Structures are given as C-alpha cells and as structure tokens.
Chains A and B, each alone.
Chain A
Amino acid sequence: MGALAAVEVGAVGFAAALTCLYHGMREVMVSNGGFCASGGPYQINPGQVCDSGVAWLTFGGVFAGLFFAGVLAFATYRYDKDISGLPLLLWAALFGALGWNFIELGFDPPATMSGAVGWIICGIVFWLMALGGLIPGLIMLFNSFRQAARPQAERSLFSEPLVRADVNVQAAAPPQSTVATPEFIDPVTGERHGGDGA
C-alpha cells in the first residue's frame, strides 16, 4: 500500500512538473521569441529579459520532473517489479509535450516573429524522439499485462529444465556377456591369440 501511495505521489509530481515546464517553455517562446536572459554584466535586449516566474517554472519543472520521475519509477518497481516500460513512457510524455509547443508555435508563430521554420524542425525531432519511447514503452507495458494474464503453469516454462533425456532404463537391453572367439590373429604382428593355443 505504501508503494502504491508513492506511485500516486510520483505521478502527481511528474505531471505537475511537466505542466510547469510546458507552460514555462511556451511563455518564453511567445513573449521572448524562444530565449531570454537576466542578470550578469551584459546589457540585455528589453524583449529578451526573463520573467522571474517563468524562469522558476522552467528550471523548477526540469528538476522536479527528474525527481518525481525517479520516485514514480522506484515506487513502481517496489509495487510490482514485473511492470516494465514506464521510463520510456515518461520520456515520450516529456518530448511529446515539448514537441507540441514547437509544432504549434512553429506553424502559428507569435506576431513578433517573421518565421519559425526552426521550431517546426525541432518539433519534428522532438516527436520522433517521443515516438522512440512511446512505441517500445507501450509494447513493454502491454507485454507486462499479457504475462500477468497467463496461467501460472505456462509462466513457469523457464524455471524447469527445457530438455530431458527420454531413456527408459528398464527397457534397455541387458548387457551381453563377452564370448571369447576361439582364435584371433593380430593383423599387425601376425601373432595368434585365443583358441586352444592361447
């Protein structure tokens, strides 16, 4: 029960962190054209100064997301070690959500931007990376369910020896008594063995 509660905490935390990161990234793209800076010795273009709230959302989202992804993965392992594919699905959620920002704002860029082809390219790359996690992640999770649905007898296939010798010892032929040949001539030396002269 404790592991399941930790799963819940991890899922809530990861989703909340990803939501913060998603909106933080989106705000920077819409308000600042995709990048911003603050502080330091350099003079910063007024349009590129970071909003402190957005900076907190973005960085907080990244680190909180990593932390809660770890909590979720560890709690899932503790709950049931046969569940697989979760880290790949978290990867897919991250790159899928951020890729959506790139794709949507790439095709409908803010008024201050003349074009956003680079964002579309980034979005396609992000979605390809998300697919790379989504497809194997779903397959692994599906396999976890399929394995769990199998009867116990079928699942113990590899816990028993796969090959056994099918020898019926009772039916084997009895050992034959050796019968000395009456006479044997060695083909190499030509000596005569056995028989009456041996």
Chain B
Amino acid sequence: MEATVHRLWIWLVVVLTGSAIGVFLGNLVVESMTK
C-alpha cells in the first residue's frame, strides 16, 4: 500500500487530537487519585 500525503495528515491529526484528549483524561485521573 503506497502512502499518500493525505493519509499521513489524517494520521497526524488523529495522533495529535488523541494526545490532547489523553492529557485531559490523564489529568482527570490524577485529580481523582490524589484527592
């Protein structure tokens, strides 16, 4: 399967948005565990 720029940009956006959501969820976990 040949890579295309379009596919790579989709991947990058998914990874970056996923990371942002993960940091948000991680902070929620930290708050609940340290209270």
Binding site for B on A (CB under 8 A): 4, 7-20, 23-24, 27, 51, 53-54, 56-57, 72, 76, 79-83, 144-145, 147-149, 152, 155
User: Are B29 and A82 interface neighbours, CB within 8 A?
Assistant: no
Q: Which residue of A lies closest to B9 (CB)?
A: A145
User: Are A23 and B34 interface neighbours, CB within 8 A?
Assistant: yes
User: Are B3 and A148 interface neighbours, CB within 8 A?
Assistant: yes
Task: Give the contact-size bracket for chain B.
Answer: 20 to 34
Query: CB within 8 A of B25: which of A7, A16, A72?
Result: A16
Task: Give the A-B contact count at a CB cut-off of 8 A.
Answer: 101
Q: Which residue of A lies closest to B10 (CB)?
A: A4
User: Are B34 and A15 interface neighbours, CB within 8 A?
Assistant: no
For this complex, 13 residue pairs linking A to B, each with C-beta atoms less than 8 Å apart, are A7-B15, A8-B14, A15-B20, A19-B22, A19-B26, A20-B30, A23-B30, A57-B34, A76-B11, A80-B1, A80-B7, A144-B3, A149-B5
